[in-house]
Amino acid sequence: MTIKHTILLVLLFILVPVHSQESFLSEKAVVSVLTCGPGTDLYASFGHTSFRVQDSEKGIDWIYNYGTFDFNTPNFYSKFARGKLLYSLSKQRFSNFLYSYQLENRWVKEQLLDLSNAEKNDLFSFLEVNYLPENRKYKYDFLFDNCSTKIPTILKDILGKDLEYIAYKDSYAATFRDLIQENLIWNSWSSFGIDLALGSVIDKKATPAQYMFLPNYVLRQLEHAELNGAPIVQRERTILDYNIQNRGNFFTASPLFWFGLLFLFTVTITYIDIKNKVRSRVMDIVLFLITGIAGCIIFFLWFLTDHQATAQNLNILWAFPFNLVLVYYLLRSSSTPAWVTWYLLGLLILIACTVIIWLLEIQIFSPVLAVVLATLSVRYGFLFYRAKKLEIFTV
């Protein structure tokens, strides 16, 4: 037992004497890692991972879960949006934990770890000390510090150099975005929203260790982990065996369908405008308003939050925040300043830059975005031509 682990045991006796009778597990104790399948809600789409500690002699069957937060936290939504919400380690009975997954029809697999009694006690002591009110909270990060990454990190901290995570793929070519999208349906609002909110930082290749921000890859990595040269997983079993739910959606409710309708509507209105030599003011207000608001959200997530994954988001090139300034002029009067002509040309150039960035794979955008860019190009091109021809942006 290392000095660090000895100190943890001493702290356990000093700080939580009420649990002193549970501080040492018996020889019958079992420590395992639970991996849970995806659910229907977006937050559950990526599954879940937690520790389980069982000891029939002590009456222990607890789940240690690093993926919980308190909705009653003051300014909850503000902190959540700004990436400042603290997550915490929670502890609950296995029966209660399992019941919630039964209700959601989600599979649960268990990997029983082949640990010595001393190693089980070290891990148990660590979890108990970490569960103390002053220790249990941590600053959550979707990619680098979540309920999934905690598992391999803690095991490595406790077991040290005796634990080795063996590479189980010939190459690791997937980016963070690829890994995220594995758990989503491409033509869904969830998939589109994530591609819209997350920046180019997630388009870099993930290392083998970084794959484990997703629970399924913790499961797979533990299958290829060795402790003192032997497999750390003694046995794997399925506790709940539900099929992965069909999380598909009707095409008529998908972003591709609605953006496709928007494209057809825009082309039709633009054709009518050209034919009648007019401009549909309401449509332009809607397009500039939507792209301006989207741009402000992207700006907020990039510059005004602690989220690492939302940085360097080049969606801001087409979802341009300053479009809201143009909305102000459109609502205010039937004509706008002469600089709007060159502003429209700038928007067309930014759309072209977006396409080039996409082709160069500097940032990968949602496939559905192609329809959005086509829609904006058609309308911006018409508005630029009209403004250039009339030398003023009028109705």
Same domain for 227 and 139: yes
Q: Does 194 reside within a domain?
A: no
293 in a structural domain? yes
Q: Which of 33-42, 190-199, 356-365 shows the lowest mean pLDDT across its residues?
A: 33-42
Tokens of 158: 């406790």
Identify whether 193 is part of a domain. no
Q: Higher pLDDT residue, 245 or 72?
A: 72
Residue 321 placed within a domain: yes
Q: Are both 314 and 226 inside the same structural domain?
A: no
Per-residue model confidence (pLDDT) at position 350:
98
Q: According to the model, what pLDDT value does residue 12 have?
A: 45
Task: Return the higher-pLDDT residue of 329 and 10.
Answer: 329
Query: What pLDDT is attached to residue 15?
Result: 44
Is residue 113 domain-resident?
A: yes
| Stretch 15-44: mean pLDDT | 77
- H/E stretch holding 31: strand 30-36
Same domain, 8 and 51: yes
Where do we find the tokens 């010595």?
116
Do 223 and 257 sit in the same domain of this protein? no
Considering the domain architecture, whether residues 55 and 124 belong to the same structural domain is answered as: yes
Which pLDDT band holds residue 373 (cuts at 50, 70, 90)? very high
pLDDT reading at 392 higher than 60:
no
d(CA 27, CA 34): 21
Instruction: Tell me how far CA of residue 228 lies from CA of 32, 100, 114, in angstroms.
Output: 18, 36, 11
State how far the Cα of 249 lies from the Cα of 233, in Å rounded to an integer. 37
Q: Provide the mean pLDDT of the chain.
A: 90
Count up the domains in the chain and report the number. 2
* Residues written for the chain: 395
286 and 360 co-located in one domain? yes
Tell me, what CATH number does 76's domain have? 3.90.1720
What percent of the chain has a predicted confidence (pLDDT) above 70? Answer: 90
Q: Does 8 have pLDDT greater than 90?
A: no
Buried residues in 188-226 as b, exposed as e (16+ CB within 10 A) = bbbbbebbbbbbbbbbeebeebbbbbbbbbbbbbbebbe
- Residue 247: per-residue pLDDT: 60
* Mean pLDDT, residues 364-387: 96
Are residues 386 and 282 both part of a single domain? Answer: yes
Same domain, 22 and 46: yes
Based on the fold, state whether residues 122 and 270 are members of the same structural domain. Answer: no
Q: What is the pLDDT of residue 14?
A: 45
pTM of the model: 0.87
What tens digit of pLDDT does each residue of 117-174 get?
999 999 999 999 999 999 999 999 999 999 999 999 999 999 999 999 998 875 578 9
Domain that holds residue 14: 3-172+207-240
Q: Which of 10-14, 119-123, 139-143, 204-208 has the highest mean pLDDT?
A: 119-123
CB 235 within 8 A of CB 347: no
Question: Mind listing the pLDDT tens digit for each residue in 59-116?
Answer: 999 999 999 988 788 887 788 778 888 999 999 999 999 999 999 999 999 999 999 9
Same domain assignment for residues 82 and 9? yes
